[in-house]
Amino acid sequence: MELIGPIAESLASHRQRLGPLLALASGELIAELESSGLLGRGGAGFPVGRKWRTVAQRSSGHAVVLANGAEGEPLSHKDRSLMAARPHLVIDGALLAARTVGADDIIFYIGMEHRAADAAMRHALAERPADVRGRARILTAPPGYVSGEESAAVHFVNAGDARPTTTPPRPFDRGVGGRPTLVQNVESLALAALIARRGRDWYVDRGRRGGVGLTTVSGAVNHPGVHEIAYGSTLGDLAAAAGGLRGDSQAVLLGGYFGGWAEVDAQWGLPMDPGSMRARGLAIGCGVVHFLAPDSCGVEATARIVAYLASQSARQCGPCVFGLSAIAAATQRLATRSPHAGDLDRIVRWTGQLAGRGACHHPDGAVVLLRSAMQQFADDFTEHQRRRCLTVSSPRRVAVA
Partner 1 sequence: MGEILEVDRIRCDGHGICAELLPELISLDDWGYPIVKKGPVPDHLVELARRAVDDCPVLALQLSLQNRDRSR
- Residue closer to partner 1 (CB basis): 81 or 331: 331
The DSSP symbol for 207 reads T
Part in contact with partner 1 (CB under 8 A); list of ranges 105-113, 174-182, 259-267, 352-360: 352-360
Produce one character per residue of 174-213: b if its CB has 16 or more CB atoms within 10 Å, e if not.
bbbeebbbbbbbbbbbbbbbbbbbeebeebbebbebbbbb
**Cβ closest to partner 1, residue 5 vs residue 319:** 319
**Nearest-CA neighbor of 73 among 241, 190, 212, 187?**
187
Residue 176 makes contact with partner 1 by CB under 8 A? no
Q: How many residues bind partner 1 (CB under 8 A)?
A: 22
105 forms beta bridges with: 64
Distance of CA 194 to the CA centre of its chain: 20
Nearest residue (CB) to partner 1, 91 versus 310: 310
User: Out of 310, 359, 367, 368, which residue is the one contacting partner 1 (CB under 8 A)?
Assistant: 359
Question: 10 Å Cβ neighbour count for 369?
Answer: 23
Query: For partner 1, which residue of 168, 177, 269, 275 counts as binding (CB under 8 A)?
Result: 168
Within 308-347, the residues that bind partner 1 by CB under 8 A are 316-320, 322-323, 326
Query: What's the half-sphere exposure (Cβ side, CA atoms, 13 Å) at 335?
Result: 20
Q: What is the rounded distance in angstroms from the CA atom of residue 45 to the CA atom of residue 37?
A: 11
CB 328 within 8 A of CB 306: yes
Q: Pick one of 36, 81, 165, 385: the residue that binds partner 1 (CB under 8 A).
A: 165
Rounded Cα distance, 53 and 40, in Å: 14
Closest approach, Cβ 323 to partner 1, in A, equals 6
Which is nearer to partner 1, 50 or 137 (by Cβ)? 50
Q: Which stretch binds partner 1 (CB under 8 A): 137-145, 203-211, 356-364, 365-373?
A: 356-364
Instruction: Determine the interface stretch with partner 1 among 154-162, 163-171, 264-272, 364-372 (rule: CB under 8 A).
Output: 163-171
Q: Residue 242 in contact with residue 229, Cβ under 8 Å?
A: no
- Does residue 51 interact with partner 1 by CB under 8 A? yes
Tell me if 350 contacts partner 1 by CB under 8 A: yes
Interface with partner 1 (CB under 8 A), residue from 15, 99, 128, 170? 170
Question: Which is nearer to partner 1, 46 or 202 (by Cβ)?
Answer: 46
Q: Does position 249 bind partner 1 by CB under 8 A?
A: no
Task: State the nearest-atom distance from the C-beta of 318 to partner 1, in Å.
Answer: 4
Amino acid, res. 105: D
Q: Counting beta carbons within 10 angstroms of the beta carbon of residue 364, is it exposed (0 to 12), middle (13 to 18) or buried (19 or more)?
A: middle
- Sites of contact with partner 1 (CB under 8 A): 46, 50-51, 54, 165-166, 168, 170, 172, 316-320, 322-323, 326, 350, 353, 357-359
